[in-house]
Amino acid sequence: MAGTYLPGGGLDDQVPFLARLEREDRSALLALGNELRFGPRVALLHEREPSSHVLLIVQGWSKVTAAAPNGYEALLALRGPGDIVGESAALTGRPRSATVTALEPVRAVAVQRDTFTDFLARFPAVSFALLGLTSDRTRAADQRRLEFASMSVRERFAVLLLDLARTHGRHTDEGIELSVPLSKQELAGSVGASREMVQRLLKELRTRGAVVTGRRALLIARPDVLRRIAGAEHPDM
């Protein structure tokens, strides 16, 4: 879910789409759409619905989720300012493969599918930027799957919290506060675990003084404890 350093070239997958564009191209693309606003926990896009537009997020954070046939909901990614969502369905014409839901107030620009694809055809640099973004996201997801395959749920959860602290953390006097409001179920959906398992892991981490939790709030007080659990080196936070 979090950004990954890609040795040998390529942008980090957390570099958003709009940040990859030249200023003129970015302004021209945003001018093609209409601004929409979404409240917290409101869906921006729905899984399996027909694709009619893409969304360019201007402000606020959202989550990308997909539901399994048994009802389990996996948290696939977080998308924030500068990110594009709904582009895969727009380009392929297939129904949307995931649901995107606001975690906080979100402001986005909606560009109709035909308008967006026509813009890509007329601006090859923008097309290549989108292709690069897709490639970076795929490589990061593949790398994470490979890492997680050899880890226990406990280790995966520690890695998740470290990555969230690195990419979405605010440093305070008490520790690193996560700036995105994720529930226990959403944390569980990031590491392929149950909500009950995440509750047990958080209880263990609280007992060890590693984290402080509240309603959709989490502060990492001892990242060194998480690094030891993860059994790997992570960037300083």
Residues 147-186 pLDDT 10s: 788 889 999 999 999 999 988 899 999 999 998 888 888 8
How many other C-beta atoms lie within 10 A of the C-beta of residue 205? 24
- State the SS3 of 37-55: EECCCCEEECCCCCCCEEE
For residues 131-142, give the mean pLDDT: 89
Which has the closest alpha carbon to 10: 123, 131, 121?
A: 131
Give the Cα separation of 164 and 189 in Å (integer). Answer: 14
Coil, strand or helix at 216: coil
- Is the pTM value of this prediction over 0.85? no
Q: Specify whether the CB–CB gap between 140 and 6 falls below 8 A.
A: yes
Instruction: Give pLDDT tens digits for 94-112.
Output: 999 999 999 999 999 999 9
Q: Is 60 exceeded by the pLDDT of residue 93?
A: yes
Q: Given this model, what pLDDT does residue 13 score?
A: 64
For residues 51-61, give the mean pLDDT: 95
